Amino acid sequence: MKKVFALTVMFVAGLAFSANAAEISNGQMAKCNDAKSITLEASQIANATADKFGYTSNDRGTASVNVWKSSNFTTVPVTMGQNDDNASLNATDHGKTGIPSRGGMGVSKVTLTSQPGFSRGDSIGDISGLVKITNTGAVPVTVICN
């Protein structure tokens, strides 16, 4: 019984040290070091106003972060707009134009996966070393380092 308990404790401790998760708000930063993957997920926030098209106090639920990579000292902006709709407005004409409706909603989650094949660190996929994620938007973002 003691061996099972000890193995369970070691397994849980191993999980705790292998993954790091943090929710960051505007101006806050999370760090990942030598991660195999980094998942960024925007919090689900409803639009603040429905009566004014294109305006809300929470940027229509869009989350924006900057990803800084020590592998090549570059910063890459990432935006997740789960409430943004890029569907064409021709659905409201009841088919008079003959153009089918196209488009869809944005995404709320992005996963960056390590791509060690880039030897010069010239890709967003090169997440080796230290990676800093800074929230530059109005919506909180959960950062998970694996």
Q: Tell whether 128 is covered by a domain.
A: yes
Q: What CATH number corresponds to the domain at position 137? A: 2.60.120
The answer to whether residue 1 is domain-embedded is no
Q: Which run of H or E residues covers position 18?
A: helix 2-18
Least confident of 26-30, 50-54, 60-64: 50-54
Residue predicted with more confidence, 46 or 138: 138
State mean pLDDT over 44-55: 63
Question: Strand 74-80 vs strand 63-69: parallel, antiparallel, or unpaired?
Answer: antiparallel
Number of domains in the chain: 1
Euclidean distance between CA atoms 68 and 130, whole angstroms = 8
Q: What is residue 17's predicted lDDT score, i.e. its pLDDT?
A: 41
The predicted-structure confidence for 55-114, as pLDDT tens digits, reads as follows 566 666 789 999 999 988 889 999 998 776 666 655 566 667 666 666 667 788 999 988
What is the pTM (predicted TM-score) of this model? 0.70
**Residues near 33 by Cβ (< 8 Å), separated by ≥ 6?**
129, 130, 131, 145
In a domain, residue 11? The reply is no
| Domain extent at residue 52 | 18-145
Please indicate, yes or no, if residue 6 is contained in any of the structural domains: no
Q: Which of 3-12, 42-51, 67-76 shows the lowest per-residue confidence on average (mean pLDDT)?
A: 3-12
Burial class for 38, CB neighbours closer than 10 Å (0-12, 13-18, 19+) = buried
Element (H, E) at 3: helix 2-18
Residue 16 — very low, low, confident or very high, per pLDDT cuts 50/70/90?
A: very low
45 lies in some domain: yes
- pLDDT at position 18 over 50: no
Question: In this model, does residue 120 exceed pLDDT 60?
Answer: no
